[in-house]
Structure 1
Amino acid sequence: MFAGTLNVEGLLEVEVTKLVKDTTISKIIQLVEEAQTERAPAQSFIDKFAQYYTPIIMGIAVLVAIIPPLIFHGTWETWVYQGLAVLVVGCPCALVISTPISIVSAIGNAAKKGVLIKGGIYLEELGRVNVIAFDKTGTLTKGVPAVTDFKVMDSNKNEKEILAVIAALESRTKHPLASAIVKKAEEENIPYTDIIVEDFSSITGKGIKGTVNGITYYIGNPKLFKEITDVDDNLEQPVTALQNDGKTVMVFGTEKEVLALIAVADKVRESSKNVIQKLFQLGIKKTVMLTGDNKSTAEKIGSQMGVAEIQAELMPQNKLDYIRQLRSKYGKVAMVGDGINDAPALAASTVGIAMGRGGSDTAIETADIALMGDDLGKLPFAIRLSRKSFRIIKANIAFSIGIKLFALLLVIPGWLTLWVAILSDTGATLLVALNSLRLLKVKE
């Protein structure tokens, strides 16, 4: 049904699958609101500093107003005036706004460029990252794989019937590799939708299984079939040959025999290699590719992109453990991923980055930053923006404190007037604000 369609006479039943609060735009609004409340470490420092700074300035102003008249026989009119000037010049306006206005400017600029940063703390941490780990499928690759090879092991078996069973099983999972098989079945007009699948289940990180006509079938990586059956030695050679070509190989069969091999290839994103190079230019010490795929395929794809290290055949728990190892060795580590399997690693990293458009809801919710357009090229921009934000925040803090100290020194020769105090306070606030707004102009 198209938007604007009118139901004139018929009965229309509508099932609500998601509430308005679950729409993408609502989530973006919610995340932006949360980002405003997430305090960066620099902002928390300024808030604590202001708690002590303000009472100290008030105390100094009182002492300036009363000590000279009481001890040095100064005039009350002159020194009360000087005390008021100290109170005005000591007002921490510029200091207090130096961090939040920078963070809001940076987060706003990032949002316009398609990078959703969920809080100031993540903006600041991103600029300190030393290592970045990437998931392969859907992150470094496009996540739109296609079937390249389909080989039935027994020539007496009907190829279309086998493909129909495979498609019926794969249609019950949302894995990118499954979509490639379903697409092939549809292109060849293979009738698979009427096949009844019972006891379907997913074997995390390995494959799926289901029962058709009383027979339990498995589809998964070769490792799965080594666990459930004795793999024929004749199977090793074709599997290895396909993997060496950078293809992901899936095996279909039962606990007793292997029925078919399916090879799937995913195209590398055009921007991936360029992004890796830019990250090294920005000073990132190490890039790592984490994948559940076999080692041969992973190394073939990783070498095309110039990734420094490749970790293959990983389960979700293995990815989580490896991220923890990287954090213990390098400190600040970012993880970029898109799938449910990446969620634990995203949560364990210093900064989790999700591919927003193609990523799973779980990954996006878990991550601290989302690349909403699935454009990996936004990552170097986000890191540069983060680092510039931190430099501007430090410059604002130094300038705010410096101008206050300089103005307070004018009390000694008696040159500090209310006009000088007002100009220094207002001028510092304006300059800090204008300096922070420069973050809106940072380009990709």
Structure 2
Amino acid sequence: MNDSPAEQRAVKRAGIRATAAFLGLLALAVLRQSHAPMIGVYLCTGLVMLAGLPIVIRTVRTLSRKPTPTFDLLVVLITAGCLFLHMWLEASLFVVLALLTDVLNAGIAAHAGSHLLTFAAAETRRLRVKRGAEAMEVAPDGLQPGDVVMVEQGMSIPADGVVAGGLGEIMEASLTGESAYRQAAPGSKVLAGSLLQSGTLNVRVDKVGQDTAMAKVHQLVARAARSPSRLQGLLDRFAGVYVTLVLGLGVLVFLFAGQVEFSMTRIPLRAALARALLVMLAFTPFAIILLGPLSTYLALLRAARRGVVFKSVRWLEKLASVRNLVLDKTGTLTYARPAVHEIKLFAASSEKELLSAAMFVERQSSHPVARAIQEHARAFDLEEDVPERFLEFEGGGAAAMKGERHIKVGALWFMEDGREIPADVSAWLQEKEQQGYSMVMVADRTRILGGFALEDQVREDARQVLEDIRRMGVRRILLLTGDNPTVAERVRQALGLDDAMAECMPDKKIQCILNERSRHGPTAMVGDGINDAPALAAADTGLAMGALGSDAALAAAGIALLENNLDGLREAFAASRRVAWIWRIGLGMILLVDFSLAAWAFFAPMTPVQGILMQMLLVGLTLLLCLRAWLD
């Protein structure tokens, strides 16, 4: 996606005006130093004023629609006052500062989101495509759903789709911020913008252009970067009051300096006007105007590159006030896949014997339970034994046979084929099921060899991430889960959470969220963005985890965590806290400098050039402070 032509033209025009004004200012400074004829001074000043004419036009249009003082009006009046006092260099310098602020604001508005996500090489080369029975070359914007496009090593995948042929490794860092490789094989889903690091893929296109996951994320980020911040809204609402106060202060200074003075002797009216202009100049809001948009834009840019998408600046601001965090368990704090927690031996003489029997069956299966047992068995040097027959039963388990060797793996009822279930087996099963584990038994023709207790594995980094979030100011962390109380309490203790609510259906989750908000204040909810959508909507701030590629997930919450890990959650909180800190420090710094300049202008002989240069320095310090939103 590119910036709109109108926005590009606006930035170009603002840049041309600022450049012309700056050149005119340089020429004026040279002429002043060389004591050149005044005609040259007038011409250079006229060039600068001509470049600043759009500010005057904008002011007149605004006042014609709504007669309320604006920041532009303050700029116009200060410039007019400088011209009236024949302060040509000062007036030109002030206009250049105003135009530079315009350029920065226009650039932020125009380029919001345009550099966050790119299609890289896919945009610059023609693609080999098979469309029906016909092979052809097309440009990336010529792709259609149903096309099969060949993607070679080093190319970016140009559209969302499914691998129809080939093998390769892809990296989705441009989408998720995660620099990890993923295997792509026939049937694998791939997303536009992913980079093929090795291999060759034939991708059947599902979505193109604006319908791809990458384009939708791009649109969300661009829309967020253009949305007004709370600071900007505050400035917009109180601009009239602020400008009126500054103008009123200028009038008071003019009257006081012209009539009273500390020596009780009057000073010339021109000197009194100059002093009033200096005091007004001290409160010009260029730095404040830049503080909000630039800091939030850089924060959104940084977050998006790390796989966190704020749908608007409002969500960035609201997350900064959150002090209570509610998390769904499955898929959020856990991997949403089973892992072996405990092995129990019955008739088997060793763990290796039990695993050998289980792998005789599970090596043939792709069921999540089978994968968990396969993963656990990797630590053992087991001989591979291929069965002659393999049968898989939905909801029960699987069986494999080879000669006289018959092995079953599955639930207890799958073992009840006329054999007697020993009491110790039944007791162990009952104990572990009460604790919330999923049970899988292994048996041969006559004996129960042993069993596996499986659980949804807690993410390794979950505790550390939550501790980091606590250090950012979150006071209370609560777990919501549909599991039984034993499982909920086990996860709560493992992660050091404050509370856990078990057996929560969607309606109960909503009630829990509402209770947290009423008792403990602003509350954020983290879930998968689909099953937890009602609870996400009920929270002050909803964060959808693993939202990439899911329209429902991207629509479910104010913040989308694209990667399916907790790093994005930590980054989201860090971004919100960082921007809030920048605003507090920035406003304090700006007000301190403004009042210091005003005191300097009133009590000491500060020149207009010195005042404008100090404002330029303040703008520079504000830019450096805003860079803190980008840096670690």
**Is this a same-fold pair by TM over 0.5?**
yes
Q: Is the 8 Å Cα contact of residues 356 and 364 (structure 1) preserved in structure 2? A: no
Are residues 1:323 and 2:513 paired? yes
Q: Per the alignment, do residues 53 and 333 of structure 1 end up closer, same or farther by CA in structure 2, a change over 3 Å counting?
A: same
Are residues 1:29 and 2:218 paired? yes
Q: How does 1:209-288 map to 2 (within 5 A)?
A: 240-247=430-437, 265-288=455-478
Structure 1 moving runs of 4+ over 6 Å: 10-13, 146-149, 181-184, 236-239
The secondary structure found in structure 2 opposite 1:341 is coil
Are residues 1:361 and 2:493 paired? no
Name the counterpart of 2:273: 80
Query: Aligned to 2:290, which of 76, 92, 97?
Result: 97
Are residues 1:125 and 2:318 paired? yes
Q: Is the 8 Å Cα contact of residues 230 and 314 (structure 2) preserved in structure 1? A: yes
Q: Is the 8 Å Cα contact of residues 524 and 543 (structure 2) preserved in structure 1? A: yes
How far apart are 1:357 and its partner, in Å? Answer: 4.5
Q: Per the alignment, do residues 323 and 237 of structure 1 end up closer, same or farther by CA in structure 2, a change over 3 Å counting?
A: farther
Query: Aligned to 1:406, which of 587, 596, 600?
Result: 596
Q: Is the 8 Å Cα contact of residues 147 and 264 (structure 1) preserved in structure 2? A: yes
The secondary structure found in structure 2 opposite 1:441 is coil
Query: Aligned to 2:333, which of 140, 147, 150?
Result: 140
Unaligned runs of 5+ in 2: 1-126, 136-143, 148-204, 343-365, 373-388, 395-425, 441-451
The secondary structure found in structure 1 opposite 2:130 is coil
Name the counterpart of 1:61: 250
Q: Which has the larger radius of gyration?
A: 2
Q: Which shows bigger deviation, 356-365 or 280-289?
A: 356-365
Aligned residues: CA RMSD: 3.6
Q: Is the 8 Å Cα contact of residues 146 and 206 (structure 2) preserved in structure 1? A: no
Q: Is the 8 Å Cα contact of residues 286 and 308 (structure 1) preserved in structure 2? A: yes
Higher relative CO (CA 8 A, sep ≥ 6), structure 1 or 2? 1
Name the counterpart of 2:484: 294
Q: Per the alignment, do residues 381 and 90 of structure 1 end up closer, same or farther by CA in structure 2, a change over 3 Å counting?
A: same
Are residues 1:44 and 2:233 paired? yes
Q: Per the alignment, do residues 126 and 58 of structure 1 end up closer, same or farther by CA in structure 2, a change over 3 Å counting?
A: same
Identity of aligned residues (%): 31
How far apart are 1:441 and its partner, in Å? Answer: 1.0
Structure 2 Cα separation of the partners of residues 422 and 50 of structure 1: 21
Structure 2 Cα separation of the partners of residues 8 and 333 of structure 1: 52
The secondary structure found in structure 1 opposite 2:617 is helix
The secondary structure found in structure 1 opposite 2:565 is coil
Q: Which shows bigger deviation, 390-399 or 95-104?
A: 95-104
Structure 2 Cα separation of the partners of residues 145 and 20 of structure 1: 37
Q: Is the 8 Å Cα contact of residues 180 and 264 (structure 1) preserved in structure 2? A: no
Q: Is the 8 Å Cα contact of residues 548 and 554 (structure 2) preserved in structure 1? A: no
Are residues 1:14 and 2:146 paired? yes
How far apart are 1:9 and its partner, in Å? Answer: 4.1
Q: Is the 8 Å Cα contact of residues 308 and 559 (structure 2) preserved in structure 1? A: yes
Q: Is the 8 Å Cα contact of residues 547 and 553 (structure 2) preserved in structure 1? A: no
What letter is aligned with 2:543?
I
Structure 1 Cα separation of the partners of residues 559 and 435 of structure 2: 34
What letter is aligned with 1:407?
L
Q: Is the 8 Å Cα contact of residues 40 and 122 (structure 1) preserved in structure 2? A: no
Instruction: Calculate the TM-score normalised by the size of structure 2.
Output: 0.50
The secondary structure found in structure 1 opposite 2:553 is helix
Structure 2 Cα separation of the partners of residues 5 and 264 of structure 1: 46
The secondary structure found in structure 2 opposite 1:116 is strand
Name the counterpart of 1:440: 630
The secondary structure found in structure 1 opposite 2:542 is strand
What letter is aligned with 2:568?
K
Q: Is the 8 Å Cα contact of residues 529 and 557 (structure 2) preserved in structure 1? A: no
Q: Per the alignment, do residues 53 and 10 of structure 1 end up closer, same or farther by CA in structure 2, a change over 3 Å counting?
A: closer
Structure 2 Cα separation of the partners of residues 30 and 108 of structure 1: 13
Q: Is the 8 Å Cα contact of residues 436 and 483 (structure 2) preserved in structure 1? A: no
Are residues 1:425 and 2:615 paired? yes
The secondary structure found in structure 2 opposite 1:301 is helix
Name the counterpart of 1:169: none
Q: Per the alignment, do residues 34 and 237 of structure 1 end up closer, same or farther by CA in structure 2, a change over 3 Å counting?
A: farther
What letter is aligned with 1:28?
V
How far apart are 1:318 and its partner, in Å? Answer: 0.7
Name the counterpart of 1:378: 568
Name the counterpart of 1:4: 128
Per-residue Cα deviation, 1:224-262 (whole angstroms, up to 9, x for no partner): xxxxxxxxxxxx988854434543589xxxxxxxxxxx9
